[in-house]
């Protein structure tokens, strides 16, 4: 397998709707959100996070880890898309703020 075949950039999206009625539920929400950030997911919108991975195997591993850290209640969904599909996203309202995203294909980011 060549290097080009192994690197197929993908995005893993996580959509979640968790209950926050009780103190225990709010704690579970905070813990899940902290887990996502620790795993390298970036917030796109409230309750919508995405992570850049280099191939399908990494995407599958990220989904497996999500299953292991899922909260006890609520809905959590994962979606894998190629980087080409992600780049075709249309912004209906608002715009993409280039300074707000550090998750790029560039090898080096100067902060």
What integer pLDDT is reported at residue 104 of this predicted model? 56
Strands 48-53 and 10-17: antiparallel
SS3 content of the chain, % helix, strand, coil (to 5): 35, 25, 40
Q: Where do the domains of the chain lie, and which CATH numbers do they carry?
A: 10-84 (3.30.70.240)
Greater confidence (4 vs 71) lies with 71
What integer pLDDT is reported at residue 48 of this predicted model? 96
21 assigned to a ligand binding site = no
Please compute the mean of the pLDDT values over residues 11-35 and round it to a whole number.
97
Please compute the mean of the pLDDT values over residues 54-79 and round it to a whole number.
96
What integer pLDDT is reported at residue 93 of this predicted model? 79
**Tokens found for residue 58:** 């990494």
pTM: 0.79
Which tens digits make up the pLDDT trace of 84-106? 898 888 888 776 665 455 555 55
Q: DSSP letter at 39?
A: T
Which tens digits make up the pLDDT trace of 30-53? 999 999 999 999 999 999 999 999
């Amino acid at each position: 397998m060549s290097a080009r075949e192994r690197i197929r950039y993908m995005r893993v999206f996580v959509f979640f709707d968790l209950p926050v009625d009780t103190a225990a539920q709010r704690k579970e929400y905070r813990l899940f959100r902290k887990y996502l950030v620790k795993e390298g997911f970036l917030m796109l919108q409230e309750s919508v996070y995405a992570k850049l991975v280099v191939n399908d195997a990494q995407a599958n591993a990220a989904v497996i880890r999500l299953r292991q850290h899922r909260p006890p209640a609520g809905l959590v969904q994962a979606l894998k898309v190629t980087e080409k599909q992600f780049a075709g996203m249309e912004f209906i309202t608002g715009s993409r703020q280039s300074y707000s995203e550090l998750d790029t294909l560039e090898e080096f980011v100067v902060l």
